[in-house]
Copies of this chain bind each other. A is one copy, B any other.
C-alpha cells in the first residue's frame, strides 16, 4: 500500500515516537467542537524545518494529503481537524524555537510551535520591556497559527497580520522560500521591513494552503510608561450604535490605538457563570426577558465595553478626557483601571465597586482577563464560556474538544459604523434565539475603520439533536448575513465553501497552488472553493 510505504519513510525521518498512529490520539485530533466526520491516518511531529521538508517531499511523492496545524487550538473554527477527510496531520508543536530577538527594534522571530505563553515567559526571563499582543483565546495558542488565520488581539498591535514580516515557508515540494527582505541573504531589513522588493507574497500564505510557514517575525510593542484599561456599559440595547460611532472617531483620530471590544449581556453572563439551569427550570434558550433580569440583578449592561489606553501619564490622561467626552450620555458607567487600582481592589474587595456593585471578587474574576489581555497577557478564563451549557463545571484542565463542548464561531466584518453594528447584532440575535441558542456577541473595532462581530453558537454536544440544531443555525446565520453582503473575516474548516473564489481570482489562486503544490497534497479544501480537494482525497484511498 502506498500509505504504508510513506509511513515507513516518515518514520525514518521522525523516529517512531513522532509518528503517531495510536487510535485514541488520532480520534482526539479528528474531534472538534461541532460534528465533523473525518479520519486522520497518522500524525507527524517534526521538530525541525528540515524534517518538514522531508515529510512533505514524501507526501508529494506518494500523493498523500497532509494538514499542518501549529498548536491545534482553533476552537470554534475546527480545532486541530483538517478541512478534508484522510489527511495526515502535520503537528508543528515541537517546532517551538525562538530564533531571533531584538529588544531595541522590538521584534522576535519564532517557529510555529511557539505559543503566547512561551513568548511571554521568554520576555519575562529576559527582563524585556516588550509586550506581546495576546488574543482572547488560550495562552497555549500558537502565534503563527493565529496570524495565518488573520486573528486579532487587543493591544495597539492587535491586527496580527499587519504586524509581522519575513516569512520562511516550506512548499509541498520540500522547497524553502522566504518573503519580504528576508529573501535576500543577510539583509538587515529582513525583520523590520515588511514589503521587501518586488511583489509582496506574505498575503498569499495567510488563509491559504500554499505552504507551511516555518518562521515568522513578530513586531512587539515597548511597554508604555502608563497603561490603563477602561470599562463602560450601556443599559439600552439600542445604545450600541452611538457607542460604535463615537469609538470609531476616537480610533480614527489616533486617541484610541488598540482594538475596542463591546460584548452583549449574554457574552458577559457566559463569562461569569454557566447556564442558569436552576432559575430557568432547565428550559432553553435563555430569553431576552430573563436576561434583562440577570442584567439588573448582576449589574451589567445590554452592552459592555472595554479597551486600553497606552502612553505617557499625560497621554493617557488626555485620552481619558477625550473618551469621557465622546461617551458622555452614551454609556452609563465609564471606569478606569490600572495596576495600582487592581491590586487595591483585590486586597479590599469590599470597598471598590469597579465594574459592578454586586460581588466584587466575582467581578474581578471577570475583569482580570479583560484587563490582562490589553497588556498582552493571555488567559485561559474566556475558554470557560465554551462550557456554558454544560451541567458540570469546567474542569481544571479545559479541553472543549474532549469535553464535547459545542462551539461554532461566525465572525462577519463590517465598517465600524453604528448602523452596521446594529444590523449585525439584531439579525444574529434573532437567528440564534429562533434556533434555541443564546446570542453571545462581541463587537470589536479591530482597525480605525472596521469592526468584527464574533457570534458564538455555544451548546452541549451531549444533548441529543443539539449538534444538528447548531449546524442549522450556523447555516441560517451564514445565509442571512451573506445575503446582506457581510463576509466573515475567517472560516471554520466546515465552511470553506464560503471562500467563493470565482473567475480570474480563482484562476490566479489555482496557478499559485499548482506551482507551490503540484501534487495537491497540502491541506486540500483549506480556504478553497474549487478543485484540489478531490485530488488529495482520491489519492489517499489508493
Listed in ascending order, the chain A residues whose CB lies under 8 Å from chain B are: 104-107, 150, 156, 161-162, 171, 173, 175-179, 181, 183-189, 191-208, 210, 219, 221-222, 224, 248-249, 252-255, 257, 310-312, 314-315, 318, 321-322, 413-417, 420, 447-450, 485-491, 498-505, 507-512, 514-516, 527
Query: Which of B184, B191, B210 has a CB less than 8 Å from the CB of A487?
Result: B184
Contacts of A321 in B (CB 8 A): 314
Inter-chain contact A175/B503, CB cutoff 8 Å: yes
Tell me, rounded to whole Å, the shortest Cβ–Cβ distance linking A522 to chain B.
Answer: 13
Write out the residue numbers on chain B whose beta carbons fall within 8 Å of the beta carbon of A179.
Answer: 505
Whether A104 contacts B417 by the Cβ 8 Å rule is yes
- Asked whether, in the complex, the Cβ of B509 is within 8 Å of the Cβ of A189, the reply is no
Contact A189 B252 (CB under 8 A): no
Q: Which residues of B contact A420 (CB under 8 A)?
A: 188
**Top 7 nearest A-B pairs by Cβ distance?**
A200-B203, A511-B515, A192-B449, A186-B485, A199-B208, A175-B504, A314-B318
CA distance A504 to B518 in the complex (A): 13
Q: Which residues of B contact A175 (CB under 8 A)?
A: 503-504
Q: Is A198's CB under 8 angstroms from B207's CB?
A: yes
Instruction: Report 7 cross-chain contacts, Cβ distance below 8 Å, ordered by A residue.
Output: A175-B504, A179-B505, A192-B449, A193-B413, A193-B449, A221-B252, A314-B314
Contacts of A448 in B (CB 8 A): 106, 219
Given contacts A197-B207, A222-B253, contact A188 B511 (CB under 8 A): no
Q: Decide yes or no: A192 and B450 within 8 Å by CB, A199-B203, A204-B204 being known contacts.
A: yes
Please pick, from B416, B488, B491, the residue contacting A192 in the complex, using a CB distance under 8 A.
Answer: B416
Distance in Å from the Cβ of A213 to the closest Cβ of chain B? 13
Residue of A193, A196, A210, A318 with most partner-chain B CB within 10 A: A193
> Nearest CB to that of A415 among chain B residues?
B192
| Closest residue of B by beta carbon distance from A513 | B511
Q: Is the CB of A199 within 8 A of B312?
A: no
Decide if A253 touches B311 in the complex (CB within 8 Å): yes
- From B176, B187, B195, B511, A203 is in contact (CB under 8 Å) with B195
Q: Residues of B contacting A183 with CB < 8 Å?
A: 502, 505
B486/A188 in contact, CB under 8 A: yes
A247–chain B nearest beta-carbon distance, Å: 13
Which B residues are in CB contact (< 8 Å) with A187?
A: 485-487
State which of B198, B449, B527 has its C-beta within 8 Å of the C-beta of A107.
B449
CB contacts (< 8 Å) of A417 on chain B: these are 104-105
**Nearest chain B CB to A443's CB is how many angstroms away?**
14
Cross-chain contact of A503 among B177, B191, B248, B515 (Cβ < 8 A): B177
Q: Which of A197, A206, A310 has the most CB of B within 10 A?
A: A197
Give the distance in Å from the alpha carbon of A247 to the alpha carbon of B358 in the complex.
47
4 further A-B contacts with Cβ under 8 Å, apart from A175-B503, A198-B207, are: A187-B485, A203-B204, A508-B512, A511-B516
A195, B204: Cα distance in complex, Å: 11
CA distance A417 to B106 in the complex (A): 12
- Tell me which of A183, A187, A205, A487 has the highest count of chain B C-beta atoms within 10 A of its own C-beta: A487
Closest to A156 in B: B254
Query: Nearest Cβ distance between residue A229 and chain B, in whole angstroms?
Result: 17
Q: Are B189 and A199 in contact (CB under 8 A)?
A: no
